[in-house]
């Protein structure tokens, strides 16, 4: 894998979903720098690893994806990290809350690995599919 591969943090409290997200990141040419199961660990990993992209589940213990996103945006060292929120909540209000928290993109669950890979590629390289 190229050394300039996008560095991606994956945070979801469901092991199966986290594994699918990691697969999608690798298919998009990215490197998973951390995969964690709660929001507090996600925030700590983002601060330590400074990923190019954080893929965050909205509903996690410790801190929600929205709270992690807000915290990342508030800190100079992580303000530029791209954020993709994943959620079973896909109403217009849910999406609006995610974008208001500072997310770059919002993808409803269930998602396809191919669709998620395309979003990861788009957010890390600017390339569309």
Domain boundaries, given as residue ranges, for the chain: 1-56
User: Is the pLDDT higher at 129 or at 81?
Assistant: 81
Both structure tokens of 105? 């993109």
Residue 4 has pLDDT above 90, yes or no: no
Domain 1-56 in this protein, CATH class: alpha beta
Residue 3 has pLDDT above 70, yes or no: no
Contact 102, 78 (CB under 8 A): no
Q: What is the model's pLDDT at position 126? A: 79
Alpha-carbon dihedral angle through residues 45, 23, 64, 78, given to the nearest 10 degrees: 40
Claim: this prediction has a pTM higher than 0.85? yes
Q: What is the model's pLDDT at position 111? A: 95
In this prediction, residues 13-24 reach a mean pLDDT of 97
Q: What is the model's pLDDT at position 94? A: 93
Return mean pLDDT, the chain.
Answer: 94
DSSP string, the chain: --TTPPEEEEE-S-HHHHHHHHHHHHHTT-EEEEEESSHHHHHHHHHHH--SEEEEESS-SSS-HHHHHHHHHHSTTTTT-EEEEEES--SHHHHHHHHHTT-SEEEESS--HHHHHHHHHHHHH----
């Amino acid at each position: 894998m190229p050394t300039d591969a996008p560095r991606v943090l994956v945070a979801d409290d469901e092991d199966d979903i986290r594994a699918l997200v990691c697969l999608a990141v690798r298919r998009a040419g990215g490197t998973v720098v951390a995969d964690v199961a709660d929001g507090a660990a996600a925030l700590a990993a983002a601060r330590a690893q400074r990923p190019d992209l954080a893929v965050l589940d909205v509903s996690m213990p410790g801190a929600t994806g929205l709270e992690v996103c807000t915290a990342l945006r508030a800190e100079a060292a992580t303000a530029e990290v791209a954020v993709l929120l994943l959620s079973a909540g896909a109403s217009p209000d849910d999406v609006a809350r995610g974008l208001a928290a500072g997310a770059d993109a919002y993808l409803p669950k269930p998602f396809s690995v191919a669709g998620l890979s395309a979003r990861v590629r788009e957010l890390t390289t600017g390339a569309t599919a």
